[in-house]
Structure formats: structure tokens, C-alpha cells
Structure 1
Amino acid sequence: ETPKSVQRLVASVSAATFAVTSTYWSQAIIAEVYALHTVLIALIVWFTLRWQTQIWARYALAVTIGLGMAHHVTTILLIPAVVVYLLSQVDRPIKIATQSLIQYGALAAAPLLLYLYIPLIAPFTPYAHLTLSETQTLTLYDNSIFGFVSHITATAFAGELQPAAVGIERLKLVWQLLLQQVRWPGLILAAMGIITLWCRQRGLFGLTGLMFLAVIGFNLIYFIGDVFVLFIPAWLVVCIWIGVGILSLTHHLADRFVRQKIGAEDSVIFQRMRRQLWRNAYQIIALSLPLFFFALPIFLMVTNFAVVDQNKNTQAQTRWQEILAEPLPESAILLSNDRNEIMPMWYYQYVENRRPDLLGLFPLITPDPAYAHISGVLDQALSSGRPVYFIKPMDGLSLKANVIPEGTLYRATSLPEAPTYKQQQRLTDPSSAETISLMGYDLSATTVKPGETIEVTLYWYVDHPLAVNYTSYVHLISADGTGITQSDHQPGGDFYPSSEWQVGETLRDRHQLTLPSDIPAGEYRLRVGMYYQPGPGVIQPLGDGLEPGTLVVETAESQEGLLQ
């Protein structure tokens, strides 16, 4: 009902709003796949809407779906919505000729031939295989039929689909991301657009609604760190709804204003003149009102600019210039728990040919389970015999290795063999079936004086997966059971908490005890153990604790007594 000029103006508001949503804007200015993915999705929607009226749109739709699948496999999420929409637009039973099916199928499949570039280029790709040692080779791409199929179907990410893990926190994440994109004014306009489509364009309501639900539903169960970028198609739909809402509101306000000032268009008095006046006034008002809605993209642009601005984002460049300036030994291995922190090194190696001897590793660099966790990556690196460095502090990994600062890096070396008891002592919680064994312990000194600090090193053997992040403790206790001093901390910290420990590992857990200055001389018991703290003031112990040994405290008076 609104003039084309008004529709185009409103479409400009909608497009501008989407362009400055924080997630899309952040991805559109970097070398990533999601901006082009969004263009292909927009084209799929456009060609779908023209399927009935334009023959060429049918062929274009098939090709674009194929391109989308070749570009990003999540394009498949749109297909049910497209099919339902096309079926809803046909009044009579559908009869599709076999020839047409073959035609459309061939057009959709043709772009998938782009995948053949992968096996063709793989033999010449320097990082398809990385040599860790003579007996250790990392296969980043398996150039076989099985490897090819696994790669294009994203089999490596199948483990991140976790429907059972979806809860209220995941729903809160979706709401927070949505609100962050268009704020409350945008949500209100989108709601108006949804209502308008339901009342007047059920087909488009179904198409956009099913697209939105498919994207949101998939992302709810897909647990990867940067899942927020996969919501972009859903935000595109929201901005379409915003445009429909603005158009509906513009039409309603313009129509009401003109009717109040001029009267109904079908008045019999001066009918032709009044109709022309009515239309002119309506068009002027309808063209003016959308201009006010440009306030939304302007507001989003101003508020999001500081977030997406990359003008001074040189941290990665600066840090890697520092790292490459270090006198690193030949063939050193550099570790991080974050893939994105290692990738700049590949640029310097493969583009600028700087330090090609170095090897960067991170979790999930290959589908091999040995590289699933940073601890496994560290084990593989240490077993290679090559020098190993952390590119940042990862204090929790001192459970697995000796870590010493070296320049701006941190040198990691293998732990010495742990002392062991003749028989392991075990912490067990009958209520949860959680268990862990104490292999042995070390003291930095067997006798200490009041006021001194002693290091107590515990060696835990992981004989059962632990479900929660435990706190370990070492308590010094007098003969009558009175606590003298203690050390409590979460072994592994944030980088390797107990819930990520792997069965079969022996982990070093170091505690420091500072003795009171007035502690009497004598022999004191060491009590060690673990507990879980689900909330403030709530402690769930893992068993009753263990008493592996004693500590002797000597004072000046006690030493004099011995001399006498």
C-alpha cells in the first residue's frame, strides 16, 4: 500500500541498522567468512521471494544455495524455511518434472565442486602436516576420501553439539546478544513487524520466523567459544522485522494524519481533486516519517564504534614482534590455550618467512584426542624433546611441568619423577563416587623454625574423572587436633582445574605454609585433602582427608635442650 519510494527508504533504515549491529560490524571489517555468508543468505531470501514471479530467480536460488553450502555449511539451516515458504505459495498440488529436479539439483551441486580445490592444494600446503618429532606428526588435513568428507561436513565439531547441556543460562545468552544488537527500540519495532507479518503476510512471516528459529535453535546446542558470530543470520531477520515494523507504523501514522486533515480518500465531493491531494499528502508524510527512524542506526553506530574500532588494535603485532625478537632456540615449540594467539605466528612464518623452524601448538589443533586439552598438548610437546615455551603465563600448568620465566616467555620442562608411597592413599566421596589418589609428597625441609615458610608438594594421581573444580588443602595440626596454619587453593587455577584433569595423570600440587612466630617446638601432623565449594560458606569435602606425614618444629630453646 505504501509507495515504492517509501519502501526503499524504510529498507535503507533497516539495512543501516543491520550494518551497525555490533556482531555483524565486527565481522565485516576483518578477514572472516561471516560477512560474505550474510550476503549469500540475503540473496537466498530475495530469490525465494521472487520464485513465483521470476523464472530466473528459481535458477539463481538453486545456485546461491549451493554457493552458501560451499561457503559455510550452516546454510543448510535455511533450507526448511525456504521449502515451507515455496509450498505455502502454491494453491494447487505441486507437480515437479523430473527434468526440473535434475536441473535445480545440478545448479545447486555445481558450486560444491569448489570443494575439490582442497584435495588439489593440500599436497602443496605447508601446514597440512606438521612434524613435532621423528615419531610425532600432526595431520591438520588428511588428504584422503575419508578426510575430505570429514572436512567438508565439519565432523571435527560434532562433539560441540550438546543438546542436553542447554539450560536457562544459554537462553539468557541469546537474549543478551539480541538486546546488544538492536536495543529496546529495535526490539519494539521488530515486535511490530512480526505482528504485521502475521496479520498481512503469513508466507513471509513463516519464512523469516523459521529461519530465525533454525539459527537460534542450532546455536543453543552448539557449544563453541565464538558461537556469537553464528547468530548473525538471526540478527538479519530481526532487522527485516524492524523494517516491516517501521513501514507498518509509517503507513498507519501517515494514513491517520491525512484522513484527519483532509478526510477520506473516497469522499464524493471533489472526488478526483481530493484523491490527488490525499495521495500527495500521504506520500510527503510517509517519506518524512522514516527519516526519524535513522536515529536507531545512528545511535548504534555511535555506541558500537568504540567496540569494533580496530584502528589501534596492534596488540597481536606488538606481542609477536617481541616473541620473535627473543633468542629462542632452534625448533622451539610455542604453546597457548587459545588458537587465535598462535595464528599471527603463521602469518610471520608463511608470509614473511620469519622463524619457520618454530612450531605453535594449541588445543584442538587436530582432532586427535591427545590434543583436546592444553594439558595433552603440553605432554606431546614435552615428549618431543624440543624446547617448549608458553607465550603467556599459564600458572595452573605448573601441575604438569616446571615453568620458569625466560625473557618475555615461560620455559616449560618436564617434572622429575614423583615420590610414591608403597601403597597409594585415596580420597573417596561415597555420595558422588568421586575419587583421587595421593601418590606421595615432598617437604622443602623436614624441620622448620617458628615464622619460617615451608613448601609442601603433593602428587595427585588421577584415577577417576572429576566432575567439579576442587580446592586442595594442607593443614598443620597439633597433637590435640588444633589447627596451626593452612594453605587452601584451587590446583590448576583457571587454565587446568580439576574438572579437566585426565585419567592417568600425576599432577604436582605445591602449597606454602607459614608458621606462626610463637608456635611451640614439637612434632605436628600434616592433613591434606580436597573439597568443593558450590557457594559461599558451603563446603563439600572429598572424603575425610589424609595424614601423610609430620613436620618437626624446632625453637632456640629446644635446640639448646638438645645440646645440653
Structure 2
Amino acid sequence: MAFIAGLALSRLLYEGFFPQLLWLARPLVALPFAALTAYAVWLVWLKWARQLPPLAFSSLLLNLLWLFNPAVDLAGSRLIFAATVWLTAVFIWTQINTDERRWGKWGGWLLVMVALLPVYLFTMSASVGAADTFEFQVVTPQLGIVHPTGYPLYLLLGKLFTLLPVGTLAWRLNLASAVYALAAMSMLYFLIQRMLRHPLPAILGTAVTGLSLTFWSQAIIAEVYALHALIVMVALYLMAKIGDWKLEIKDWRLRVPPPHPITPSPVHVYALAFTLGLGMANHLTTLLLLPSAFLTILFTARPTRLTTHHASRITDNELWITDYRFWLKTAVAFLLPLLLYAYLPLRWQAVNGEAMGLARFVDWVVGGRFQGALQLRAWLDDPVRYQIVGRLFLENWGWWGLALAGLGLVVMVWRQWQTAVILLLTWFAYTFYALNYTVPDLAVFVIPAQLVGGVWWAVGLWAGLALVQDVARREHWPDVAPLALTFALIPALTMTVNHWAKNDQSGENPLEQWGRAVLALPLAEGAAILADSEKIAPLLYLQVAEGLRPDLDISVWPDEAAYRTQVDGRLAQNQAVYLARYLPGLQGIYHLRSLGPLTEVSTSPMTQLPNPSAVPGQVYPITPLPHSQFGPLTLLAYSLEPMAAGDEGNTAVTLYWQAAQAVDEVLHVYVRVVGGEGDGRATHSQHPANNFYPTNAWRPGEIVADYHLLPRPVITHDGALTYQVAIAPPFTPANQLAWQDVTTMEVTATENTAALPSRLLRAQIGGYLVNGADFPAKIRSQTRLPLLLTGFGSENPGLQFKLQPVSSPIGQITEFSPPPPVPPAHIWYENLNSDLPAGLYNLIASYEAQHEADCGHGRCLAPASYCGWMSPAQTGCVVGQVEISGVALPDTAVNYADQIALLDITTSGPALSPGGVLQVQLNWLALANMNQDYTLFLQVVDAQDRIVGQVDSWPVQGTHPTSGWQPGQTIPDSYTIPLSQEMAPGAYRLLVGWYLLGDGRRLPVLDGEGTAVEDKLIVPNLFVPG
């Protein structure tokens, strides 16, 4: 087992310090290294731990989950290795500490903290978050007012964390959630340890719960749910003390009652009431704990007689429970923390300069604006809700985890049914609430139910282990507990690795970079920026936290009508207005133009080019052009940012257009870069002015600034890049565009980037050392496959690439090539021809000898390739797999940009009723991984394209965003579209499409050849009877 750990350590060192430790990839070095590691562990065991059974080290075998997997996963492998070491420490510690001494109790807690704290810190972001997280990060330092229900407890505690002298303001508030989460897990540990009287299930159950998907996600962002979890766990722990919850699992043949009468102190009840009141000052769903609290007190006051060989007495607890003074004190303890809500009217006056008023206060506290989301009949009327909530539990626990939790519940019912009823009531209350609360972020409302699931999981694990040990004793086996637990924890560990990838926010935040770039633009003094819910986060945070552009009025509004009102009102008051969101319907009324990624809305046209020297903050020059005519449009000038300020991976170009006469047709602007690698194949097209301003809305003589963001090309050789522009109608094929050169720029070869490509590699291919690759996982036949490799080597043309069917073996060779000296960093770029039949292919990289020095006996041999740790010598390495197809879909399927396919659609039509509804059932297929959350639109339109019914939503009632879809996954999705009362008899159509909320850009519908033909699906033949 220690030998396996030594092998794992050698691979970790090889992949983590590639290419400096190349020798550790070779068996002649890795095997002795592992043997020395095992020998060192054996010596330690002989000297200090001979009393420990060897199976105490069995968790080290979990490294086999990744050790011989050829894929390079630095985070996952390190996490598994650390988990195996931690589990070994847990098993050893529990073997040594078999009693309940003070150090034994706190030692288990310390092991839990060692497991959770580094994970939370390593995955925590130091920058601004999104949605409610950003709001808390902005408002808390100012002691302002956040959205209902106000959360006064969270704001006051968060203010204390903002005073810390370390980290960014955002990081300090994220850290606060980590502290609350660790405190909640501490209470969970002590609760399970109290119930089972053993630290091992408490340690494992708490660690698994703390690393569950939803709880982990809330432990690393500024949100109220980690604090809510702490309140819930304190309340459950106090209920355990009041009810004396104990489930010693020793004898399966008896239901053992408590050996002593239950004698809780009323002080515990007062503390429970105070805790619940305090929780109400943070999150109103604390109310759902009240039934469990009352039931705990009832069970304590009137305990059930158990007729076994143990005697049980009814205590006189009913004496104090019937005393009115007890209930009066309990009510005071509950109501006292609610005085924290006085924060709202006090701070409202200071923030808004007016009294809050009683009606507004009550509506704010009860969350009046959210009442419509609580549909109390949803559990009866909408069976999809059960699928949604069930998926939340499955995502957090998996089938094995749910099975263990189910076993734990059964054991609790068998051993102490009162405790089981109380916990089941708590679980049911929050689960039932989730069934009826129709919001996109539903997962966070189920966290208390997940905490109860963590208790059940620990009980189920301990009960299962007790059964295994019972069998082992009868069969006279050695102590197999560590080995049994090792196998039982495999599903939890693999899920934790997946959760890391989903929750890790430690990288740079591109939105914050974008916000800095925007606030550095030459924006008018005192201007307004109307942003969407995503883009307002970095803008407002940087304004508050770092004092950037305090003169700007930055705001977000609930819907398009509110934004339109703001635009009209502010322009009427001569305030400059910039949009950081898509807002249709402005063309023809206002003049629109780009200012970087923002869109300026103006009542007057631009008639002269900006003077860069007179514009503060204008870094890149505006270069006038000689007569450049593009049909009815003239390109007057351009401004080029080789590295876009808001996105260093892209190039930004602003074009300045003018139309001498009115333009009757809608024309798109197409932009591309020719030269470098890729050679113009990435084409960007949109309406001018950030996709806002169709050409048929321009006034004659108006100058329109038009901003485009293009992928920054990879340059492997010194040369030139040419920026080209074309004007044509939407959906014009690239080979039919009339391209014209705008400018040419001399460039030098791109240096190897510090940020590795998305696919990590650790391979020696001849004299080349490759550490990463980027290429699409799916392409169409007859198209070219762009491949980017990074690593260390030269420009020697001997590096070759080919696509080979996955069923074809890779050649093995017997020669030995020593690791070469580390050459300079380099980037390779290739465009491979994919003129192959549809199927799955391995992308092979190999080295073909090009010089006589590499040749012998008249033939040239391919130097050996070593494709990873402990890899044998081969003729080439698999860089990855590529699927070549025309996207194999049913003939009736609709393809949205090779990313989403609509397999089928059914409606309740074709006859429509004015004022009624249209039921739509959709079945989607994910074709690729998506890092964007696309919004689905369903529009019912009449013959004049007037909308009479519309729904815009993320899929599955907003709970299953596209960024979480897996390729090949099918997603059933149903909608109810309310229809207008004013529908005249006649023909109607249903439009179905996808768009990005930030810029309104739609996913194009592709034909069988991959050509964009539309931006929506049109479902005809709907009608209102005459």
C-alpha cells in the first residue's frame, strides 16, 4: 500500500514539475522511488506503530483511482492523494484513540478542519462574484440595504469581516462564509459524535457533507446560506441535547433505550428558541425548523415507554413544560433576536434619505416580491418539480450516497424512532418547500435537508461497518474496518473530484478585468451605465471597493420596460447614457454607437471623428483611412487594440462607418484576421455598434463607431497580420464575402503562455516536450482541425500529426531514448485536414526523423515517444480524441450552432385561445460542452411578427443552465406560454431559439452542411379560429 503511495508521489512530482523531473516518468526511476518510499514507511511503522494493523494504511490504495489513468488531471490527482493521506491519518488516529478523552473528542474535530479548510481556501475567489454575492460584497462594507428579506444578521457580521487587514474586500466576505461553513460542520461533527459515541463516522460524515456540491459552493462565496447552515446545525445540536439523541450501534438484536432518565435543562430550550430567532434575522426559512423544535420538546416532556430488559422511567419534565413562565421565557428568547430587523428602517433612512414606512418594512421582511415564486400546489400540479428536486439530491450524493443515507434512516427508525421522526420532519419541511418554490437557484434552499442527509449518511456508514465487523468476528478475520471503509468511500471521493472542477473559483475573474477596462474608458462625467445583472457586478464593486469613477451612476433594472424608462428619462435630463446589456427597440429613435464594449445612446448623431488627443483615456490612436467604400457604407477610420484591455486573449478593433445616403437593407459587418495560425477562419459578424444598430436605421451622414472583439491569433513565426472587413446581409457564407484589407501589423512569434491550454499533457515526443493542447472535440468532415500545442522544443518540422481511428493500435518500439535537456519554450500550431469518414479518431503526435544523424542503414527511424508517466516507448502519442461527423442527428432535429440540438417539439396546438396558454414540450440534446448559459426564447407571433405570447428562461424552469450540460445528455423541457387576450383570428407561428443575455447574440440554426441559415426555429400552422 505504501508502494502504491510511492508510485503516486512519483507521478505527482513528474507532472507537477514537468519537464524538470522527466526521469520520474521512467520505470527504472519510478519503481525504485516507490520502493524507497514504502521502505521508509515500513521503518516508521516498525519503530512507532507496530500495534497498528497493516490495513490501517488501506486507504492509500485509493490512489489506484487515478494512478494508471493516462489523462493528466493535476487538481484531481493531488486531491485524491491528499485524501488518501488524510484518511490514513484518520484511521490511525481512531485506532489509537478508542476512549472519549478530551483530546480524543477535539482531535477528530481537528481532522475535519484539516480536510475542509484547505479545500475552501484553495477554491475561493479573491474577486467579485455574481448576482447576490456581488450585492453582499458591495453593500456590506457600507452597511447598506440588500434585497428582501434584508438579512440584517448577515450584514452586521459581514461588516466585521470587512475590517480584516488582509485580502481584497471580496475575499474577506468570501472568507466569512468559509468560517460559517466550518462552524456548521463543527456542529455537525459534534452532533454525529454525540449520537454514535464514536469519532470515526462523525469525521467521515462531516467531511463528505462539507464537500458536497451545494454546501461547498456556498462555503466559498459571500452568501447567506453558509450562515443559515450554521444556524440550522446549532438548532439541531440543541435539539439533540434536549432529546438526548444517542444511537450506539453495538447490538443489532436490541433496541436499547437511554440508560438514564432524560433530564434536559430548560436553558437548552431557551437557547434553541434564541437560535431560531437569530436564524430568522438571517433567513426566513428558519421557520421550517419550528415543527421539529416543538416535537423535540413534546417527546422530551412525554417520553415513550420502551419495554425491553432495560427499564425506563417517565420523568417530571411535563411539570416545567406546563409552566406558563417557561413558555414566556421561550417566547422572549425567540423574539429578542428579531430586534435586529430594526437595522432596516434605521439604515434605510441613512441610505435613501427617507423613512422606510411600515408597509414597505413589512413587505421587505416577508419578501413580498418573491411571493409569486411560492406555488403551494406545485407538488400536486407539476410532476417536473420532483425530477428537479431529486436531481439536486443525486448531484450531491450520488446513488451510493443516497443508499447509505437511506440505510441510516432505517437504522434510526429502528434504534430511536423519535430522533428519526424529528430529523425526517426537518428534511421533509425543506424538501417540500423546494418542491413548491419555483426559482432557478433552488439548490441552496435544500441545504438544511442535505445536512440531515449527512447525518443519515454517517449513521448508514457506521451501521454497515458494524455489520461487516460482526461477520469478520464470526469468521475470525482480521480487523477489516479500514479496508471496508476505503471501498465504501470510493464513490464519495470520485464525486469530490468532480465537485472541485465545478466549484473552483480560484482563477482570475474575467468579468473583473472587463470592469476595469470599462471604467478606464473615456466616459462622460456623471454618465449613467445601465448594466445587466452580470456586468453590473464588477462595475459597482470596483467603484465601491477601489473608488474607480465615483461620478458614474451604475444601475441594474428588473426588465426591458424599466431599462427603456431609464434611458428615456435620463436622456431627457441631458445625462449621457451607456448600455452594458442588450436592449432592443432603440434603433430609429436614438443614435447608437460603440464606446468599447459599451453602447452609447444619444439624441444626436456623431458627425465628426473623435479627436484622440482631446479624449482622456484614449490609449490607441484612431487612424483615418483613405476612401474605403463597402457598398453603401464608407469606412472612415479604425482603432486597433492588439491585446484587448478587458480580455487579453482577444484583439479589439473599432471601425468608424458613415453612410452618405439612407440604407434600405440590413447589413452585417464581418471582421477577420488573416495571417498567423488559423489564417482568417474565425469570422466575427454582427449588426454595427455592438449588435445594436441595424444599417437601415442610420441617418444619412451619421458616423457610427462599431466595436468588435476577435480571438487573438497564435503566432509561431515572425510575420504580419492583416485585418479584413466585409459588408453583407446576415448568414452570408464566408466564401461569398468581398473582403477588403483595413490594416496590416507586423508581429513577432508568440511566447509560450503561462496559462496552459485546457488539455494538459505530459509527453516526450522525440526531442519535444509537450505540456498542453487545445483543439475542438468535434468537427465536421471536410473542415480543418486547428491544433495548438504548448511545450518545449524548436521549430524543427519533424513533429507530425495525424488522425487515426481509435480502434487502430499505436506502434510500440523497444529502443530507449533518455530524457533530453529541457529546450526553450515553444508553441506549435497545425491545421489538419479532416477529409475522413464520420467516426471517433485519436489525434496522434509523432516525430519523424528529418536528418541523416537520425537515420541508420539507409532508413530513418522515429525516435521514441513517451506519452506520460510510466508509458512505454511508442511511435507516437495520443493528444486527444476528435469526433468527425456531420453531427449525427435525426432528420427532424434542429441544430443550434453544433452546440444544442432540438430532437423534437410538441405543442398543445394548433388551435389557440386568446387569453389562454400554449403548452410546449421540448427535448434537447447537448452536442458539446458549453461555458455559457444560454437563454431559451419561445415567442408566439402573428402574421405581422407581433409577439402575442413569450417565455424567456434557462432550461427546466431555470434550474438546469446550459453550462452544466454534458455532451450526449438529453434534457426534457416543458413550458407554458401565456397568450394575449387581444389575438385576432388568423395564422400564428411559434419561434424557438437561444441567445446570450449579455449581448442578445443568438445561436444560429445550421443546415446539414454546417451553414447558418436562420437564428431561430419557426413552427408554423398555429391559428386562432375565426
Superposition deviation, residue 374 in structure 1:
2.7
Alpha-carbon distance between aligned partners in 2 of 1:242 and 1:495, rounded to the nearest angstrom: 35
| Partner of residue 21, structure 1 | 212
- 1:259 corresponds to: 474
CA, structure 1 residues 541+494, in 2 after alignment: closer, same or farther (shift >3 Å)? same
Match for residue 577 of structure 2 among 377, 388, 405: 388
Note the alpha carbon deviations across 1:393-427, whole angstroms, 9 max, x for none.
455876997654332112345899xxxxxxxxxxx
**Corresponding residue for residue 565 of structure 2:** 379
Q: What is the match of residue 531 of structure 1?
A: 989
Contact residue 471 and residue 489 of structure 1 kept, 8 A: yes
1:143-542 aligned at under 5 Å gives the runs 143-164=356-377, 167-261=382-476, 289-290=484-485, 292-338=487-533, 340-364=534-558, 373-385=559-571, 386-393=575-582, 404-412=593-601, 469-470=938-939, 472=941, 530-532=988-990, 539-542=1020-1023
Q: CA deviation at 1:43?
A: 0.9
Could you tell me whether the CA contact under 8 Å between 2:516 and 2:542 is conserved in 1?
Answer: no
CA apart distance, 1:298: 2.9
Please list, as runs of the form range in 1=range in 2, the aligned pairs for 1:49-88 lying within 5 A after superposition.
Answer: 49-52=240-243, 53-55=263-265, 56-88=267-299
Match in the other structure for 1:103: 329
The answer (yes or no) to whether the contact 1:395–1:492 under 8 Å persists in 2 is no
Does residue 239 of structure 2 align to residue 33 of structure 1? no
- The SS at the match of 2:343 is helix
C-alpha contact 1:9 1:287 (8 A) present in aligned 2: no
Preserved contact between residue 949 and residue 977 of structure 2 (Cα < 8 Å)? no
* Cα drift, residue 242 of structure 1: 0.6
Question: Shift in Å at residue 490 of structure 1?
Answer: 11
Q: CA RMSD in A?
A: 4.2
SS of equivalent to 2:546: coil
> 1:26-62, CA deviations, whole angstroms, 9 ceiling, x for partnerless residues?
1101111111110110110110111144414223212
Structure having the larger proportion of residues in helix: 1
How high is the TM-score relative to the length of structure 2? 0.38
3-state secondary structure, aligned to 1:405: strand
Query: Are the counterparts in 1 of residues 943 and 988 from structure 2 also a CA contact under 8 Å?
Result: no
Following superposition, the deviation at residue 375 of structure 1 comes to: 2.6
TM score, norm. by length of structure 1: 0.66
Alignment of 1:7-18 (within 5 A): 7-18=198-209
Query: Matched residue of 1:351: which SS?
Result: helix
Equivalent pair of 2:385/2:435 in contact (CA under 8 Å)? yes
Counterpart Cα distance in 2 of 1:71 and 1:346: 24
Q: Distance in 2 between matches of 1:490 and 1:407?
A: 35
SS at match of 1:531: strand
C-alpha distance in structure 1 between counterparts of 2:586 and 2:991, whole Å: 22
Q: Determine helix, strand or coil for the equivalent of 2:493.
A: helix
* 2-structure distance, mates of 1:315, 1:492: 32
**Cα distance change of structure 1 residues 534 and 360 upon mapping to structure 2, 3 Å threshold:** closer
- The C-alpha deviation readout for 1:156-204, integer Å capped at 9, x for no partner, is 3222212355522222111111111011211111111122122222112
Q: Find the aligned partners of 1:501 and 1:332 in 2 and give their Cα distance.
A: 39
Is 1:43 the counterpart of 2:205? The answer is no
Aligned counterparts of 2:220 and 2:548: Cα–Cα separation in 1 = 26
Letter in 2 for 1:103: K
| Structure 2 contact 401–492 (Cα < 8 Å) conserved | no
For 2:224 and 2:236, how far apart are their aligned partners in 1?
19
| Residue deviations 1:510-543 (CA, integer Å, cap 9, x gap) | xxxxxxxxxxxxxxxxxx9741268988534355
Separation (CA, whole Å) in 1 of partners of 2:493 and 2:239? 31
Counterpart in the other structure of 2:10: none
Gaps of 5+ in 2: 1-97, 105-196, 244-262, 304-313, 606-661, 666-693, 698-913, 919-937, 955-974, 994-1016
Q: Which runs of 4+ in 1 moved over 6 A?
A: 2-6, 396-402, 454-457, 487-493, 495-504, 534-537
> Corresponding residue for 2:1008?
none
Change (3 A) 1:80 1:194: same
Q: Percent identity?
A: 26
Distance 2:342 2:501 in 1: 41
- Partner Cα distance (2:916, 2:551) in 1: 38
Q: 1:11 to 1:25 in 2, by over 3 A?
A: same
The structure showing larger relative contact order (alpha-carbon pairs under 8 Å, at least 6 residues apart) is 1
Match of 2:467, SS state, is: helix
1:104: how far off? Answer: 1.2
| Cα distance change on mapping 1:114 and 1:400 into 2, 3 Å | farther
CA-to-aligned-CA distance 1:305-348 (integer Å, 9 cap, x gap): 1111111141221121122112222333323442x532333322
Is contact 1:382-1:388 (8 Å) kept? no
Q: Distance in 1 between matches of 2:405 and 2:585?
A: 46
Q: In the aligned structure 2, how far is the partner of 1:168 from the partner of 1:397?
A: 41
Task: Give the letter for the 1:539 counterpart.
Answer: P
Q: Report how far residue 291 of structure 1 moved.
A: 5.2
Report if aligned partners of 1:10, 1:290 keep a CA contact under 8 Å in 2: no
How many Å separate the matches in 2 of 1:493 and 1:402? 29
List runs of 5+ in structure 1 lacking aligned partners. 130-138, 263-280, 365-372, 417-442, 447-453, 458-463, 476-486, 505-527, 546-564
Q: CA 1:182–1:531 in 2, change beyond 3 Å: closer, same or farther?
A: same
Paired residue for 1:552? none
| Distance verdict in 2 for CA 1:402–1:87, change over 3 Å | farther
- 2:347 alignment partner AA: I
Q: Deviations over 1:476-529 (max 9, x none)?
A: xxxxxxxxxxx999999959999699999xxxxxxxxxxxxxxxxxxxxxxx97
CA distance in 2, matches of 1:21, 1:245: 17
Letter in 1 for 2:227: L
Count of aligned positions: 429
DSSP-derived class of the 2:599 partner? strand
The answer on whether the counterparts of 2:532 and 2:581 sit within 8 Å (CA) in structure 1 is no
CA–CA separation in structure 1 for the residues paired with 2:556 and 2:372: 18
Counterpart secondary structure, 2:525:
coil
